[in-house]
Structure 1
Amino acid sequence: MSDIKVICTSDKNVALTFTWDGFTPFHLVDIEGIYGIESNVVTSENTTTDGSTYQGATAKERNIVLTVEMDGDYKENRNLLYRTFPIKRTGTMQYIEDGEAKTIDYEVENILPGATTGVVRDYTISLKCTDPYFKDLADIEVVMASWVSDFFFPACFPEEGVIFGHREAELVKEIENDSGADNIGIVVIFHADGAVKNPAIYHAESGEFTKVGYTENNFTMASGQYVIINTYTGKKNIYLLDGVTQAEIENHKNNYGVIDWDAVIERYGTVINEYLDEDGDFIQLQDGTNTLAYSADEGVNYLSISVYYRISYLGV
C-alpha cells in the first residue's frame, strides 16, 4: 500500500501529508469511508399492492475516518494536527493512488487521541463530507464558440488586407460522463462581442434549459459583458460581469492553470437571477452522454461560450 498518499489541507492552507510508509511526521495506519457510496432510498407502500413503490433516492453524506500515528515531537505534532483540522472549519482532501488523484471537501467532526503514553501514539480524525462525491483536481473546459487569432509574427500586410482572426463555433457539444454519478454541476460562461439578447444553454437528453431573459423580461448583453451560470448544488445562480477585462479574469487562475470562477464571481459578479426563465432550470450533467447546445434570441454570432465541469466519482 506504499503507493497511497493522503494530503489534507485546511481552509487556512495548513497541510499535512499521510503515507503508509514512514512518519512524515505522521504514519497512516488506516483510512475508512473512501470506497463505495451509500444512498437513502425512499419508498411507499399501498395496502392493495405487493411490495412498495420507489419514490427516489439521495446519496448519503460521506464519513472519512483517518487513524494516524506519531513517534516523536508529541506536543508539536499535536498542535500541527489541531491547526490542520480545526473544528467547525472546512478543508480539502487529496487521495492519490498509483499517481491518480481525486479530491473531496470536508468539515472536521473530531480529533480523538488513542494511546497517550509510549513511543508510538495514535489519533483518530473524523471528517464529514456533505457532498459525498470525489472529484478531479481541476475543471475541464469545453469551448463551444470562440474567436481564434490568425495574426502571427513576422507579419506582412498585402493590399487585399489581413484576416486577424476567425470565429469557431459548434452549436452542439457532447460530454461523456461514465462515472455513474448524476447531477454534476457546470459553470457556463457567455461573453458578448456585440449585443446579445436572451442567451440560453440546453441539455438535449433531459429537455431542460437555462435561459437568461425571456419575452416578459428581456435581458440584453452589451459588448464586453460576461454572463456566468453556475449550476452546482448549493451555488445555483446567474451572475453578470460588467467592465471586467479578460486580463483581470486571468489573474484568478488556480494552481492547475484553470480560471477559478468562484473567485472571479466573488470579486466581480452581480447576481441577476431575476432574469432566469421560469420555464427553465439549472441544467446539470447526468450519467452517460450529455448533449449541450446554445442559442440566443438575437446576436448569437456575437457569443463566445465555454462550459467548465468536474466529473464526480462514487468512490476512489
Structure 2
Amino acid sequence: MMYEKLVYTNERGESIELSVGSVYHCNVSKDVDGIAGVTNAVYSTNSMGQHGDTYVGQRIEARDVDILGHINTRDKQQSYELRRRLLKIFNPELGGTLAYEYGSFKRIINCRLHGKPDVGRKSVLQQFSLQLDCLNPFWREEDEQKEDIASWVAAWHFPCVIEKDNSKSMIFGYRAESVIVDCFNEGDVSTGMRVRFTALGTVTNPVILNVDTGEFIKLNVTMQTGDVIEVNTKYGSKGATLTRDGVKYDYFRKVDVDSTFMQLDIGDNNFRYDADGGVNSMEVSIFYDREYLGV
C-alpha cells in the first residue's frame, strides 16, 4: 500500500518517519501545512502623479512547515519511550532534512525545528505538533546533478584478451573533450552550482564561461598536479576552496574580480572551459540541484 510519508533526519543521522503507517501517526495530506506552494514578497516603487506602482523585484519567503500527529500506542511505558525519542531527535540545536516520499517520488528540503516539539496527552493518545523553519524554501531531488565538461573516460574492460604477438596498441582510456556542455535546469527556479577544476598536470588560470550570457568564473592561480579547486555560487555558501594533498585552503581571494558567481537559469545553460596554460591537463565538472516550489 502506498501512502504519503515524511522522514525527518537530524545532523546526527537519527530519523523519524511520520505517516499513517508509522507509530508517529500523521496523515500528511490533512495534518501537514506548508509543503506545497510558497509565499512571495513583491517590491515596488511609485512617484507623485503615478497611478499604481512600478515593479522593482520580488523574493520568495522562507517556508514554514507545521506538522500535527499522535503517538499511536496505548501502552503508557511505550508511549513515554516514543515521546522521549521524538524530543531527542527533534532537537532545536540540530539542523536536519525533511524528506517527502510517495512511492518512488522523493523530494528533500533543509530545515530546523522552531522552538521545541509540543507533546501532550489528548484523550487516550499523546498528540504532538512540530514547527519547522525552512530558510531555503525550495525542495530538491535526492541526488545532485553532475555534468562533465572535460574528463577521462575508461576504455579498459573485462573480459580482456591480450594476444602474445599482438602489435596493435591497447587503449586504456581516452579524453572526452566536450567543448560545450548544456546544464539543463529542469527545476522551478534558478539555482547555484559547484564548479570543480581538477588538475592532471600544471594548469594556469582556469576559467569556465557561460556562452549564452558571457559571464565567467576565472581563477588567477597556477594549479599543481592533483589540485582540486571548487567554486560554489549558491547563496549563503559562495566561496572557493583548494584541496591539495588532502588539506583544504580558502581560495576566495584567487577568484578574478571580474568573475560572476553565476546561477543556472531555468532551462538551458551552456558552458565551455579554457585556461591560459595546460588546458588539456584539466578536468571540469559542474554540480547542481534541481529546486522546486512544492511537492
Counterpart CA distance in 2 for 1:31 and 1:308 is 32
**Residue correspondences, number:** 285
Q: For the Cα contact (< 8 Å) 2:87–2:117, is it kept in 1?
A: no
AA at the equivalent of 2:272: A
Counting aligned pairs with the same residue, the percent is: 27
Residues 83-162 of structure 1 correspond to what in structure 2 (within 5 A)?
83-113=88-118, 115-152=120-157, 153-156=160-163, 158-159=166-167, 161-162=169-170
Q: For residues 139 and 178 of structure 1, do their structure 2 counterparts lie closer, same or farther at Cα, with a shift above 3 Å needed?
A: closer
Secondary structure of the residue aligned to 1:77 is helix
**SS of the counterpart of 2:258?**
coil
Give the Cα separation in 1 of the matches to 2:230 and 2:146. 14
Structure 2's unaligned 5+ residue stretches are none
- Report the secondary structure of 1:210's partner residue: strand
How far apart are 1:33 and its partner, in Å? 0.2
Letter in 1 for 2:255: L
**Partners in 1 of 2:290 and 2:186 — Cα distance?**
9
Q: Is the 8 A contact 1:70 1:121 kept in 2?
A: yes
Structure 1 counterpart of 2:229: 227
- Give the CA deviation at 1:160: 5.3
Please report how far the alpha carbon of residue 195 of structure 1 lies from its aligned counterpart in structure 2 after TM superposition. 1.4
8 A Cα contact 1:68 1:124, kept in partner: yes
Deviates more, 1:271-280 or 1:48-57: 48-57
Aligned to 1:172: 180
User: Counterparts in 2 of 1:248-263, with a 5 A limit?
Assistant: none
In structure 1, distance between residues paired with 2:253 and 2:122: 61
Task: Confirm whether residue 240 of structure 1 aligns to residue 242 of structure 2.
Answer: yes
1:115 deviates by: 5.0
- The structure 2 residue matched to 1:185, chosen from 187, 192, 195, is 192
* DSSP 3-state at the match of 1:288: coil
Counterpart contact for 1:2–1:19, Cα < 8 Å: no
Alignment of 1:45 onto 2:50:
no
Which amino acid is the alignment partner of residue 194 of structure 1? Answer: G
Between 148-157 and 98-107, the greater mean CA deviation after superposition: 148-157
CA RMSD of aligned residues (A): 1.9
Query: Aligned residue for 1:288?
Result: 267
Equivalent of residue 270 in structure 1, options 240, 249, 254: 249
Which consecutive aligned stretches of 4+ in structure 1 deviate over 6 angstroms post-superposition?
A: none
2:36 maps to a residue whose letter is Y
Give the CA deviation at 1:156: 4.3
TM-score in terms of structure 1 length: 0.84
- TM-score using structure 2 length: 0.90
Instruction: Give 1:276 shift.
Output: 0.7
Q: Any conservation in 2 of the 1:71–1:119 contact (CA below 8 Å)?
A: no
Q: State the one-letter code of the partner of 2:14.
A: V
1:195 counterpart residue number: 202
Tell me, yes or no, if the aligned pair for 1:88 and 1:109 is still in contact at 8 Å.
no
Q: How far apart are the structure 1 equivalents of 2:167 and 2:284?
A: 34
